[in-house]
Amino acid sequence: MADSGFRQALEEIHGLARDSQEAASENEEALLLYACLAVKHRKRMDGTPKENYERRWAQDTGKTWKALAEFPGRLRGMAEEVKGLSGSPFFDPARTTTTMIPDGKHWDFAKRELSMLHLFLEGYSYWLDERVKCVSTFMKHFYRRVPRGTLSLFTLNVSKEVKLMTGRFHDREVADLLNAADFVLNPDIAKSGPRFDEQSIALMRSRQKRKAPKT
């Protein structure tokens, strides 16, 4: 956004917005994200694209993606174990009078919560399981292989966001925006000439439309 050429290309798209600048700003965050991803230079990385994205999504969890995907099953196993402990009067919080809190004021509340611990673990396991599956499905859109020499699939996302803002496809303006972003983010590559043009964008969209399954 600090680059004047990029700001000018973005302002041209804003000027085409059908419902004023307010509508344009609502889509701007997604538009900027897709524009950056569309021009991102694919560097060689360790591991497959899938492995790299799994590593990123599992970051800060303290687990690998494989361990994260297996964790819901482990939680359900733990829930069963905790439930089994309550079969004994000596290890069932609801039936014991022993307090773990010095003043004992909150023990009744703690007993109720602990007696439902297995339900909480089980419920959390199903939520986590669905979350992992959703993220796995979402990731496929990022690491799908794109034939060498073709435009990134994120180019289509930029095109679609511009249509949402303006009501029409504006391939020339999209190409101008992406070339401006390319010049900012990949100055060495961009020196060889513009990588995006309206004909290529329209052709890519047409190819994707033909590939889309008919319902």
Q: Which long-range contacts (CB under 8 A, 24 or more apart) does 179-184 make?
A: 179/9, 180/3, 180/5, 180/6, 180/8, 180/9, 181/6, 181/35, 181/36, 181/38, 181/39, 182/39, 183/3, 183/5, 183/6, 184/3, 184/5, 184/6
Q: Which two tokens stand for residue 205?
A: 């969209």
Residue 191: pLDDT over 60: yes
**Does some domain include residue 190?**
yes
Instruction: Decide which of 110, 143, 176 is a domain's last residue.
Output: 143
pLDDT digits (tens, 9 = 90+) for 3-38: 999 999 999 998 888 765 555 566 788 888 889 988
Predicted confidence at residue 172, as pLDDT, reads 94
- Say yes or no: 108 and 44 in one domain: no
**Does some domain include residue 19?**
yes
Which has the minimum average pLDDT: 133-147, 176-190, 195-209?
Answer: 133-147
When comparing pLDDT for 126 and 204, which is higher? Answer: 126
- Say yes or no: 153 and 124 in one domain: no
Alpha helices in 58-153 (DSSP H): 65-85, 107-115, 117-143
Predicted confidence at residue 89, as pLDDT, reads 84
pLDDT digits (tens, 9 = 90+) for 88-122: 888 888 777 666 655 656 667 777 788 889 999 99
**Does some domain include residue 55?**
no
- Say yes or no: 15 and 37 in one domain: yes
Mean pLDDT rounded to a whole number for the chain: 82
**Confidence (pTM):** 0.50
pLDDT digits (tens, 9 = 90+) for 142-190: 665 444 445 778 899 999 999 988 889 999 999 999 999 999 988 887 6
Task: Tell me how many domains the chain contains.
Answer: 2
- Say yes or no: 159 and 119 in one domain: no
Domain around 30: 4-48+149-211
- The rounded distance, in Å, linking the Cα atoms of 83 and 78 is 8
Residue 63: pLDDT over 90: yes
- Say yes or no: 44 and 21 in one domain: yes
Q: How many helices (H) and strands (E) does the chain have?
A: 10, 0
- Say yes or no: 190 and 122 in one domain: no
DSSP 195: -
**Does some domain include residue 174?**
yes
**Does some domain include residue 173?**
yes
- The rounded distance, in Å, linking the Cα atoms of 34 and 23 is 18
- Say yes or no: 69 and 28 in one domain: no
- Say yes or no: 68 and 139 in one domain: yes
- Say yes or no: 35 and 75 in one domain: no
- Say if residues 44 and 193 touch (Cβ distance below 8 Å): no
- Say yes or no: 18 and 32 in one domain: yes
**Does some domain include residue 72?**
yes
Instruction: Decide which of 93, 120, 143 is a domain's last residue.
Output: 143
CB-based contacts of 141, cutoff 8 Å, min separation 6:
153
**Does some domain include residue 191?**
yes
- Res. 130 pLDDT band, cuts 50 70 90: very high
- Say yes or no: 117 and 184 in one domain: no
CB-based contacts of 53, cutoff 8 Å, min separation 6:
139, 142, 143
**Does some domain include residue 28?**
yes
Predicted confidence at residue 211, as pLDDT, reads 64
Instruction: Decide which of 88, 110, 143 is a domain's last residue.
Output: 143
Predicted confidence at residue 143, as pLDDT, reads 62
- Say yes or no: 135 and 166 in one domain: no
